[in-house]
Amino acid sequence: MQRKITEHIGSLAFVAIVFAVLLVLLKQREAADRQARVKAVAPYLSIPGCDFGNPRDRALFNETLNLFRPASPRANDTLISAMESYRQSQFTDPNLKTGAGEQGLTWHVLGRLSLMYLQFVLVYGIVLALTFYGAQSLGIYRFVRMKQGRGSYLEEFLHLVSGPKVRGRTPSRIMEASFLLLKTFLKGAAYAILFSPAYVIGYSFKASFETDSLLFMILLGVVSNGLLVNYANKFYTLLATENRKGYVETALVKNLSGEFFWNAPGGIAYRSILSLPRHFPGHVLQHIYLNARHQYFPTLKEQASFLITGLIIIEMALNIQGHLCYELLQNILYRQYDVVLTILFGIFLLVKVTDILVDVRHHREGLRYENKN
């Protein structure tokens, strides 16, 4: 365990050093670039009587340049465009503006970023908790359905349609088939939403709902990008793997219930899937669930990283102003690399803290499972 913690802290320190070095290098390079740009164009811009804001003067200068240096028309064009961009930067460069917002990483900017970061962490924590809970609930639901021997609604529909026809039961069969078809359609629609990238759902609702709210972001984080459905599938796979192990049969021999019908005596109650903490007293699912949950816990690290990817996509793609990743986008745009690196480090820190917490918790639970605690 100590080795894992050391590795996490080591990687945090490594990334911090890399970012710091990168920051210094970028600042130096930026300053050198600016100096080189000024040095290359300054002699021409200070030609007396030549106004480069005037198109005629510009054209004259271009022709003169081509006369003096006829062998290098490309270099002449490059010089002209460099002069033009330098002149433009005098008006557009935020660093040269007075009265504009603060540039670079100041205490004020850091304070503003901290608030956004806290908001990001809050959203992240809530979405992580909801998806962790939701993935387990969905996984158990699928597992119970599998144990009941039920396939998908479409399979049930096909079975019903192609099954033997009983005289006099046609109306009820049609009703049943329609109901199954409706369920198939609803399930398909749910899958379409769960697998949709956040920006597709976001834009679909943008004109009708307030998509900039925190609640919408949380909702989008949970239901979009395939996060919930993929991790539910992982939990289901773990349950199915556990179910194949020998202890399950031993438990059944020792008189634990192996009945999987909904709300039946000795079966599984719907509310036990949704309740927290989940308990299936006297049922073999209790042991299958606990063992699967223990193995599922480390995947929370992977889930956390993917969730952050999803949140970044949501904030960047939907242009949600005043949020951390929108700020990241803006600062990349204005080349404020110190702010960019600070935000990236904050995001990396969040992933690493999650990793450490998950590892510690998993280790402690592991000790309990191995009777070493």
Kindly state whether residue 141 participates in binding another protein, applying the rule CB under 8 A: no
SS3 call for 267:
coil
Exposure pattern of 159-181 as b/e (b: 16+ CB <10 Å)?
eeeeeeeeeeeeeeeeeeeeebe
Kindly state whether residue 333 participates in binding another protein, applying the rule CB under 8 A: yes
Which of these segments, 4-12, 84-92, 96-104, 291-299, binds another protein (CB under 8 A)? Answer: 4-12
Kindly state whether residue 14 participates in binding another protein, applying the rule CB under 8 A: yes
Can you read off the two tokens belonging to residue 270? 């719907």
- Residue whose C-alpha is closest to residue 227's, from 205, 203, 190, 197: 197
Residue 128 one-letter amino acid? L
The answer to whether residues 11 and 352 touch, using CB atoms and an 8 Å cutoff, is yes
Which stretches of 148-298 are DSSP H helices? 153-162, 170-195, 198-206, 214-223, 227-243, 246-253, 270-274, 284-296
Within 222-281, the residues that bind another protein by CB under 8 A are 225-226, 229-230, 233, 237, 244
**Pick from 159, 169, 279, 364: which binds another protein (CB under 8 A)?**
159
Q: Considering the complex, what minimum distance in angstroms separates the CB of residue 143 from another protein?
A: 13
The answer to whether residues 160 and 180 touch, using CB atoms and an 8 Å cutoff, is yes
**Pick from 26, 121, 181, 317: which binds another protein (CB under 8 A)?**
317
Kindly state whether residue 1 participates in binding another protein, applying the rule CB under 8 A: no
The Cα 266–Cα 284 span in angstroms is 10
Kindly state whether residue 15 participates in binding another protein, applying the rule CB under 8 A: yes
288 to 307: interface string for another protein, x by CB under 8 A: -------------xx--xx-
Q: Which residue shows structure tokens 């740009």?
A: 37
The number of residues making up the chain comes to 373
Kindly state whether residue 348 participates in binding another protein, applying the rule CB under 8 A: yes
The answer to whether residues 301 and 355 touch, using CB atoms and an 8 Å cutoff, is yes
Q: Considering the complex, what minimum distance in angstroms separates the CB of residue 10 from another protein?
A: 7
Question: Count of alpha carbons within 13 Å of 70, Cβ hemisphere only?
Answer: 1
Kindly state whether residue 312 participates in binding another protein, applying the rule CB under 8 A: yes
Within 353-372, the residues that bind another protein by CB under 8 A are 355
**Pick from 36, 161, 174, 274: which binds another protein (CB under 8 A)?**
161
Can you read off the two tokens belonging to residue 304? 């956390």
Kindly state whether residue 5 participates in binding another protein, applying the rule CB under 8 A: no
Kindly state whether residue 11 participates in binding another protein, applying the rule CB under 8 A: yes
Kindly state whether residue 155 participates in binding another protein, applying the rule CB under 8 A: yes
Q: Which residue shows structure tokens 């022709």?
A: 63
Q: Considering the complex, what minimum distance in angstroms separates the CB of residue 259 from another protein?
A: 23
What is the Cα Rg of the chain in Å? 31
**Pick from 207, 254, 271, 370: which binds another protein (CB under 8 A)?**
207
The Cα 313–Cα 316 span in angstroms is 5
**Pick from 179, 185, 205, 247: which binds another protein (CB under 8 A)?**
205
The Cα 289–Cα 295 span in angstroms is 10
**Pick from 16, 52, 197, 295: which binds another protein (CB under 8 A)?**
197
Which of these segments, 61-69, 74-82, 123-131, 155-163, binds another protein (CB under 8 A)? Answer: 155-163
Judged by the rule CB under 8 A, the positions of this chain that interact with another protein are 7, 10-11, 14-15, 154-155, 158-159, 161-162, 191-192, 195-197, 199-200, 203-209, 225-226, 229-230, 233, 237, 244, 301-302, 305-306, 308-309, 312-313, 316-317, 319, 329, 332-333, 335, 344, 347-348, 351-352, 355
